[in-house]
Structure 1
Amino acid sequence: MSISSERRSRGVLAGVCLVAVALATVFAVNSGSTQANSANPAIAAGSAATGSTGHQLHFGVAYGNTLLGAPTATVDAALNDAVAVGAEWVRVDLPWIAIQPTAESGYDWSGLDTLVIAAGTRHLHVDPILDQVPQWARASDCASDYECPPADPNAFAAFAAAAAKHFGPMGVDTWEIWNEPNLKAWAPEPDPAGYDKLLVATSKAIRAVQPHAYIIFGGLAAVATDPSLKQVSAYDFLAAVGRLGGTRYVDAVGFHPYSAPVMPSAATNFANISSTPYNLVAALAQSGTPDVPIWITESGANVAQAATDPTAAKPATQQAEQEQAAYATNLVQTVAANPHVAADFWYADQDAPQDKLFFGLRRANGTARPSFDALKTAIAQCRCDSGN
């Protein structure tokens, strides 16, 4: 995940402003085209909510790397939260480095098997993020960073195909290729041409095993193009890959439009999906793939005060948590109003203080924040055009 300028800036939002912004969402209008039909059974048959524009909208919870190899009790509690808030998807890391740390070791899928089985019993679909190349498979000039791409895209594609072969019979047929490749998460700096090669090779390899697999373009960070920071805007990166033909190999494009403390309905990051002059939908249309939908594979709001007040004992922290809850409500309303958005994943289930991340629906001690019930209520109230 990225820390954009909007996410860095914190401040107390006045209660009346929160109400005004939330009400403004009701009147938000986004122009759109018909969402592409999916061949993936999980997408086509899943019990998606339908927003005010009549498009299917799937909700999920993003867990990052917190559940890979975690104890069964931890996995069960985390997935129970997804069910409780009304989500039908979970997004988790599937790092190659953890599956095959050495060239000779072979693939060890056991770290994710528990999660996939537990998700299946709860009728939850899994969006695994394929990334993090082991040292032995990186280029020699970029061997010290696990975020470096593979020396050979076909080697990564072989890993992805093996994952599809292993987890396909367990119900997994959706795959997200890398995470935030428009940042230094593709080390040492973003490379649209390099990502295009990886994306095409990996998509082909997965579909050779799973012809109807659903492939997601790795979630793009909502940042501005800035060579000094080694980052490329989501529009610029997507347009560059599209010109090379890469968007023809995906079923959806991942996007991470964090915007707190600005509410989604008023945020440029969310307008960049389809409303600003240089938006993701426009980039897809220019590439000849106008019907590819946007999957918000990460969204959420940080409670920075939790770093020093983990139990929310102070009024300022309690106020920040109320703002996070209002953000969750506004987020669901905003994505439901945009027909180009087909899925939204809240990051995260629980705070990760070791990583200085406080986006959780739960605090580090496991207690629920107001955002838990706010997200649950907002998802439940996301109705179809008929009002049912």
Structure 2
Amino acid sequence: MPLTSFGLKGYNSYLYSHNQFYMEFLKACNKLTLVIIWLLVFLACKKDPKMMPESSTNVEVTPDPIIPHAPPLADAFGLAVPHLTHARDVDIAARYDAGVRWVRRDLSWTKVEAVQGTFDFASTDIVVDAELAMGMEILAILDYGHPDYASGSGGDSHYPPDDLADYGTYVRETVTHFKDRIDVWEIWNEPNFVNFWKPNPDPGSYGDLVLVAIYEIRQADPSAKIMLGGMLGNIDPGSYGGQPWGFLEAVLSAHPSLLSNIDILSIHPYTWLQYVEPEILSGVVNTFQIGFSEMVLNCRDIADQAGYPNIPIWITELGWHTATQAIITLGVSEEKQAALWVRSCVLAFSLGVEKVFPYSYSDGSGDLTDKESHFGMMRYLANASTTSLPHDPKPAYNAYQTMTGLLSQCGFEKDLRDDLGLLPTEFAYRFSVTNSDDVVIVAWSTGLLPVPITLNSIPKSMISTTGMNLPVSSNVINVGSNPVFIVM
């Protein structure tokens, strides 16, 4: 679960001194800057029409030959759902209807061994079996510690055990129990974040725990895939010399051969305060802030340097909250959340990410000052555990459903920005439909004004972010901050 970086060295003074007023001021400055840029471009173009960027007038999009082996995205869409929550039949069905084919779940040590020395998987079985029966797969997290095995934890389960053999027993029992149902295991969640590894994140100790887990998983289920714990973005730079994934580098420095036994890397590239847009480059907001694309590419660079250039990368958490009254960590509107889910997923696929798991299914409260409870694609439903009523969907639900419906039978083909000569605030990506000559172009702009793009033919159809059919009568398409899906 994403949390702000309160308590991390080098961050306290920043977060407390740059409050909500600062963020509003930053937004105003960004808008003013864009207005000035557009005004200068307009005046220059008025003086000399030849200076008008081609991307804003008459650019032709001529599809390249279809790449026949572009990996299909049929099972690339997941959802991070914490612990064993939101497991009613109506919730499971809603996730499947949204195109979710993977669910990330905590199979927490304290849940399956509530009584020391006794493992009980009954309640976990119910949730896992229901989601499997619906047609979804489970990414299971082996987290966290257990107060009965960690002296000095004060009842907090986020301390690692005193004896790693105890964690190994939990891993062995859990993987053995689920080996015919769960194929992918993630070792801990956000071990680089002080809230989830106490008293302080420790790369060497985490690596030691991973080695124990690897051994037990391989013994219990040799065919299982093993994933490093998803690491929280925009946390490491303050502690690891500005490196986006400095904790991961430190883990590999302490255990150089670790990746030889890891099948998948997992990252949580949340943007700064879960507010900044994914297209914003590193350092624009402050010296610590790392851009979304840079986080993904840096993870790939680390794997390359370690000798594993082809190891898959999954984004197992990502999101923007809609707690618009939260202090310091400003929320976005529900409409913007929907757009950012689509934009970040498309960017991820363009960068080679294999699967994405936005966070999360449902809001946990109606309190708009409660940031942590407002990452969901569904609105809060009071007394959800005692009713069969469905949650009310946010626009993010409809957006995810639209994206999965259009792209699940596609493979990513090409970043069109260079072909179109687009400005830095304009984005377009092409996906090829499997076993078809059709393509789907996902396009948007982060500028203040819609951008016209001229295609080489009239699209077959055009769909809005949330699934509405848009009128198409021309080969000139206007794109704004809400992505459009253009079927050619």
* Structure 1 residue aligned with 2:43: none
- Counterparts in 2 of 1:60 and 1:52: CA distance versus 1, 3 Å: farther
* Structure 2 residue aligned with 1:103: 116
* Structure 1 residue aligned with 2:454: none
- Counterparts in 2 of 1:226 and 1:332: CA distance versus 1, 3 Å: closer
Tell me the percent identity.
Answer: 28
**Which one of the candidate residues 385, 398, 418 is aligned to 1:373?**
398
* Structure 2 residue aligned with 1:60: 78
1:233-252 to structure 2, matched below 5 A, reads 235-243=245-253, 244=255, 245-252=257-264
Q: Distance in 2 between matches of 1:134 and 1:173?
A: 24
Asked whether the equivalents of residues 221 and 233 of structure 1 are also in contact (C-alpha less than 8 Å), the reply is no
Residue deviations 1:169-223 (CA, integer Å, cap 9, x gap)? 2x11111110000011111111111111111110111111111111111010002
**Which one of the candidate residues 215, 221, 224 is aligned to 1:210?**
221
Question: What one-letter code is carried by the residue in structure 1 that aligns with 2:226?
Answer: I
Asked whether the equivalents of residues 269 and 296 of structure 2 are also in contact (C-alpha less than 8 Å), the reply is no
Matched, 1:168 2:179: yes
Asked whether the equivalents of residues 227 and 265 of structure 2 are also in contact (C-alpha less than 8 Å), the reply is yes
Shift in Å, 1:234: 5.2
* Structure 1 residue aligned with 2:44: none
* Structure 2 residue aligned with 1:320: 333
Q: Distance in 1 between matches of 2:252 and 2:137?
A: 28
Q: Distance in 2 between matches of 1:306 and 1:114?
A: 37
Residue deviations 1:6-65 (CA, integer Å, cap 9, x gap)? 9x9766798xx9xx9xx9xxxxxxxxxxxxxxxxxxxxxxxxxxx999345411111112
1:182-201 to structure 2, matched below 5 A, reads 182-184=192-194, 185-201=196-212
* Structure having the higher Rg: 2
Q: Distance in 1 between matches of 2:82 and 2:182?
A: 17
**Which one of the candidate residues 337, 352, 364 is aligned to 2:364?**
352
Matched, 1:265 2:279: yes
Q: Distance in 2 between matches of 1:367 and 1:130?
A: 31
Q: Distance in 1 between matches of 2:313 and 2:91?
A: 25
SS at match of 2:308: coil
Residue deviations 1:132-186 (CA, integer Å, cap 9, x gap)? 2221211x244542100111222212211211111122x1111111000001111
Q: Distance in 2 between matches of 1:75 and 1:239?
A: 40
Asked whether the equivalents of residues 182 and 234 of structure 1 are also in contact (C-alpha less than 8 Å), the reply is no
* Structure 1 residue aligned with 2:190: 180
Asked which structure has the greater RCO (Cα within 8 Å, sep 6+), the reply is 1
Shift in Å, 1:332: 2.0
- Counterparts in 2 of 1:226 and 1:81: CA distance versus 1, 3 Å: same
Asked whether the equivalents of residues 325 and 374 of structure 1 are also in contact (C-alpha less than 8 Å), the reply is yes
Asked whether the equivalents of residues 268 and 318 of structure 2 are also in contact (C-alpha less than 8 Å), the reply is yes
Shift in Å, 1:227: 6.9
Question: What one-letter code is carried by the residue in structure 2 that aligns with 1:263?
Answer: E
Shift in Å, 1:370: 0.8
Asked whether the equivalents of residues 238 and 284 of structure 1 are also in contact (C-alpha less than 8 Å), the reply is no
Matched, 1:362 2:378: yes
**Which one of the candidate residues 128, 142, 163 is aligned to 1:116?**
128
Shift in Å, 1:248: 2.2
Q: Distance in 1 between matches of 2:303 and 2:252?
A: 7
Asked whether the equivalents of residues 252 and 294 of structure 1 are also in contact (C-alpha less than 8 Å), the reply is yes
SS at match of 2:324: helix
Question: What one-letter code is carried by the residue in structure 2 that aligns with 1:261?
Answer: Y
Q: Distance in 2 between matches of 1:115 and 1:380?
A: 25
Further displaced range: 183-192 or 148-157: 148-157
- Counterparts in 2 of 1:183 and 1:307: CA distance versus 1, 3 Å: closer
User: Which structure features the higher share of helix residues?
Assistant: 1
Q: Distance in 1 between matches of 2:317 and 2:115?
A: 30
* Structure 1 residue aligned with 2:433: 387
Further displaced range: 51-60 or 238-247: 51-60
Question: What one-letter code is carried by the residue in structure 1 that aligns with 2:3?
Answer: I
- Structure 1 unaligned residues grouped into runs of 5+: 24-50, 309-315
Shift in Å, 1:226: 6.5
* Structure 1 residue aligned with 2:342: 329
Asked whether the equivalents of residues 132 and 146 of structure 1 are also in contact (C-alpha less than 8 Å), the reply is yes
Question: What one-letter code is carried by the residue in structure 1 that aligns with 2:245?
Answer: Y
Normalised TM-score (structure 1): 0.77
Q: Distance in 1 between matches of 2:395 and 2:153?
A: 43
Q: Distance in 1 between matches of 2:126 and 2:84?
A: 13
SS at match of 1:380: helix
Asked whether the equivalents of residues 146 and 158 of structure 2 are also in contact (C-alpha less than 8 Å), the reply is no
* Structure 1 residue aligned with 2:92: 79
Matched, 1:296 2:315: yes
Counting matched residue pairs gives 333
1:121-132 to structure 2, matched below 5 A, reads 121-132=133-144
Asked whether the equivalents of residues 306 and 358 of structure 1 are also in contact (C-alpha less than 8 Å), the reply is no
Asked whether the equivalents of residues 258 and 269 of structure 1 are also in contact (C-alpha less than 8 Å), the reply is no
Question: What one-letter code is carried by the residue in structure 2 that aligns with 1:88?
Answer: R
Q: Distance in 1 between matches of 2:220 and 2:355?
A: 25
- Counterparts in 2 of 1:283 and 1:52: CA distance versus 1, 3 Å: farther
Asked whether the equivalents of residues 300 and 346 of structure 1 are also in contact (C-alpha less than 8 Å), the reply is yes
**Which one of the candidate residues 310, 319, 324 is aligned to 1:305?**
324
Shift in Å, 1:103: 2.5
Asked whether the equivalents of residues 264 and 311 of structure 2 are also in contact (C-alpha less than 8 Å), the reply is yes
Question: What one-letter code is carried by the residue in structure 2 that aligns with 1:271?
Answer: S
Asked whether the equivalents of residues 279 and 291 of structure 2 are also in contact (C-alpha less than 8 Å), the reply is no
Question: What one-letter code is carried by the residue in structure 2 that aligns with 1:209?
Answer: A
Q: Distance in 2 between matches of 1:193 and 1:53?
A: 40
- Counterparts in 2 of 1:111 and 1:234: CA distance versus 1, 3 Å: farther
